[in-house]
Amino acid sequence: MGALLQTLDVTKRFGGLSAVTALNMSVESGEIVGLIGPNGAGKTTSFNLITGVYKPTGGQILFDGRDITGLKPHAITRLGVARTFQNIRLFKDMSVLENVLVAQHMRMGANLFEATLRLPSYLRKEKRIHERARALLAEVGLAEHERARATSLPYGKQRRLEIARALATEPKLLFLDEPAAGMNPQESVDLMEFILKIRDQFRLTIVLIEHHMQVVMGVCKRMYVLDYGVTIAHGSPDEIRNDPKVIEAYLGVE
Amino acid sequence: MDLQTLLQQFVNALSLGSLYALLAIGYTMVYGVLRLINFAHGDVFMIGGYLAFYGVSLFAMPWWLAACLAVALTTLFGVGLERAAYRPLRDSPRISIMISAIGASFLIENLGIVLFDARPKAFAVPGPFAANHVIGGLHVAAVSLIIPVVTTVLLAILLWIVYRTKTGMAMRAVSTDIEAARLMAIDVDRIVSITFAIGSALAAIGGILWALKYPRLEPLMGIMPGLKCFIAAVVGGIGSIAGAVLGGLLLGVIELMTVAVLPGLTGYKDAFAFILLIAVLLVRPAGLLGKNQGEKV
């Protein structure tokens, strides 16, 4: 009992290449956990395995006490797992508001029949999700942009919109894939505060991939280090900073 | 040539173009969500015509009932086609699913020959469609007036679904980024089924209207319109609904206007469709209304 997410010996092989080997990760409710490692270490692959984009070659993934191994991504999202992407993947032909609305789609539970007849129940739901979407946009500071095209936003705001869109699926567990990528130091500090804020406000558990050491060390109490798909270290920021294996993976051997 | 003949041909062109548009929408929508050219789409159109025919001739239904049932069954047929021939190959290389589409097309055509018989069947045109009206000196078949009206109404409904409903929003999300859409809890399989249902329903209605305009059914009748409407969709900008409609209308007008203006070239009218394709693609590779976007890297 206890862990919100637990992976047991999760492995992914692409042909002869083992992208992730025996990943054993355990995340408690309310934690912010970091996942770091050099490029190509298998961090994003791990995210893809847990969110159902890839099927694991072996191992088991437990979320909230349920076995979610091999479930389809939309089913896993419905259980309360959301994510953002390393290279922003907004629905670029839609407005900012629509991007959030689409993510609430599944919470709506309306069908085409209900929508076509515009039943009162439908209109009530419609109103409620619009209000919620606007509230989320206000939360991430994008309220005044709701009508803008998603891709017309500046980069930093697109990242925030992606987070708002993920929050719209009402997750318990949120995966952030390099949220600080391309940000300057000040933006990174703002982002750290933002991550802590949404964690408390939406009672989230967060797993974070990040290269910005300042950000990871700043918000994560615990982290896992991957190298060539293998978990080489795991512990508090201080432990990680002084772990010879981690130093070796990042800097090479003398 | 006098103005009257020109107008006459224009009315015909408008109704032919509307039919092309109905069929082209199906190509463009399926391409939009799956990046797949559904080569069997023209055959779905043929099935629609035949089912309506059998409803009237075999089961002695009133024409409207036969038409409704034919549309419903063709819709199921289209959804079933996706389940059987495309869904299992969703994660395979794109060439496999394309080959499967070509195979499905041949299969349906040949099943048609076996089941419906290769000899053409005469489609009994019900009274309201067979009438001829004289409007301002123009002889206009009732069906030529009805087709553009039906197409306009269907297009309005379609645009409403795509831009004003949650399902439509999910369809647009899937067509921009299928992976991200999945991770927003959108059931992609369901959206794909709905897309095929809409495309097939439009093809069935197109097939029935086609049979009313040209009352002769053959198992291979879907090939040429299918090919031309694929062209219409590409010319308009594949993936864009407005583009498909524009392409369809343009193709209808060009085809019939060539015949009207240069009667000597009647035999080559199909060639004009292909010349149009080549000409447009040379100038605008993404089609008239398509966005010029490179493959994502």
Between the CA of residue A163 and those of A5, A100, B13, B187, what are the distances in Å? Answer: 20, 10, 50, 20
Question: Is beta strand A81-83 parallel, antiparallel or unpaired with respect to A173-177?
Answer: parallel
Tokens of A140: 């991430």
Residue with tokens 């318990």: A172
Rounded-to-integer distance, Cα B24 and Cα B271, Å: 18
pLDDT band per the 50, 70, 90 thresholds, residue B265: confident
Residue A166 has pLDDT above 50, yes or no: yes
Question: What's the pLDDT score for residue A161?
Answer: 93
pLDDT of residue A226: 92
Write down the pLDDT at residue B142: 87
Q: What is the pLDDT of residues A235-244, one digit of tens each?
A: 998 898 888 8
Distance between CA atoms of residues A184 and A154, nearest Å: 14
Mean pLDDT of chain B: 90
Q: Which two tokens stand for residue B166?
A: 């949650």
CB atoms within 10 A of CB A23: 25
Query: Which one, of B222, B221, B208, B214, lies nearest residue B65 by Cα?
Result: B208
Cα–Cα distance, B39 to B108 (Å, whole number): 11
Q: Given this model, what pLDDT does residue B83 score? A: 96
Q: Determine the pLDDT at residue B155.
A: 96
Instruction: Identify residue A215 by its one-letter amino acid code.
Output: V
**What are the boundaries of each domain within chain B?**
3-283
Q: Is residue A126 very low, low, confident or very high in pLDDT (cuts 50, 70, 90)? A: confident
Percent of chain B with pLDDT over 90: 64
CA distance to B135, B155, B198, per residue, from B18 (Å): 20, 10, 17
Q: What is the mean pLDDT of residues A78-95?
A: 91
pLDDT number for residue B267: 81
Chain B CB contacts of A82 below 8 Å: 183
pLDDT bucket at B293, cuts 50 / 70 / 90: low
Domains of chain A plus CATH, in order, are 3-80+171-251 (3.40.50.300)
- Of the listed ranges A53-67, A236-250, B226-240, the one predicted with least confidence: A236-250
In this prediction, residue A80 has a pLDDT band, given cuts at 50, 70 and 90, of very high
Q: Which of B176, B187, B194 is facing A91, going by the closest CB pair?
A: B176
Three-state secondary structure of A113-179: HHHHHCCHHHHHHHHHHHHHHHHHHHHCCCHHHCCCEHHHCCHHHHHHHHHHHHHHCCCCEEEEECC
User: Which of chain A's residues have a Cβ under 8 Å away from the Cβ of B170?
Assistant: 102, 105
Half-sphere CA count of A228, side-chain side, radius 13 A = 4
Residue A116 has pLDDT above 80, yes or no: no
Tokens of B50: 């035949």
Q: Between B120 and B274, whose confidence is greater?
A: B120
Architecture of the domain spanning B3-283: Orthogonal Bundle (1.10)
B176: helix, strand or coil: helix
Please, which residues have CB within 8 angstroms of residue B287's CB and are 6 or more apart in sequence?
A: B234, B235, B236, B237, B238, B240, B243, B247, B280, B281
Would the CA dihedral through B138, B142, B145, B147 be positive or negative?
negative
How far apart are the C-alpha atoms of A111 and B68, rounded to whole Å?
Answer: 22
Closest C-alpha among B259, B249, B284, B244 to residue B41: B244
Q: State if pTM tops 0.90.
A: no
pLDDT value at residue B296: 43
Q: What is the pLDDT of residue A114?
A: 66
pLDDT-derived band at A106, boundaries 50, 70, 90:
low
Best residue in A102, A114, A172 for a mutation probing chain B (most B CBs within 10 Å): A102
Residues 6+ apart with CB under 8 A from B76: none
* Per-residue model confidence as pLDDT tens digits over A142-155: 999 999 999 899 88
Q: Do residue B176 and residue A93 have CB atoms under 8 angstroms apart? A: yes
- Residues of chain A in contact with residue B75, where contact means CB-CB under 8 angstroms, are none
At B71 the pLDDT is 97
**Of B120, B109, B117, B114, nearest in space to B39 by CA:** B109
Give the largest Cα separation in chain B, rounded.
Answer: 61
Q: With an 8 Å Cβ cutoff, are B172 and A165 in contact?
A: no
Report d(CA B92, CA B89) in Å as an integer: 5
Amino acid identity, position B109: E
Q: CB distance A77–B173 less than 8 Å?
A: no
Widest distance between CA atoms in chain A: 71
Identify the band that residue A176 occupies on the pLDDT scale cut at 50, 70 and 90: very high
The ipTM assigned to this model is 0.80
Burial of A147 per CB tally in 10 Å (0-12, 13-18, 19+): exposed
- Would you say residue B17 has pLDDT above 60? yes
Please list every residue in chain B whose beta carbon sits closer than 8 Å to the beta carbon of residue A115. Answer: 165-167
B93 burial type by CB count under 10 A (0-12 exposed, 13-18 middle, 19+ buried): exposed
Q: What is the C-alpha to C-alpha distance for residues B32 and B91, in angstroms, rounded to an integer?
A: 17
Does A128 lie at the interface with B, CB-CB under 8 angstroms? Answer: no
Match 């015949």 to its residue by tokens. Answer: B259
Please say if the pLDDT value at position B15 is more than 70.
yes
Q: What is the pLDDT of residues A183-221, one digit of tens each?
A: 888 888 888 999 999 999 999 999 999 888 888 888 999
Q: Pick from A102-106, B46-50, B255-259, B293-297 the range whose average pLDDT is largest.
A: B46-50
**Three-state DSSP class for B1?**
coil
Chain A hits for B191, CB-CB cut-off 8 Å, are none
Distances in Å between the Cα of A160 and the Cα atoms of A29, A96, A166, A199, B97 are: 23, 11, 10, 14, 37
Indicate yes or no: CB of B182 within 8 angstroms of CB of A85: no
Local confidence band at B297 (pLDDT 50, 70, 90 cut-offs)? very low
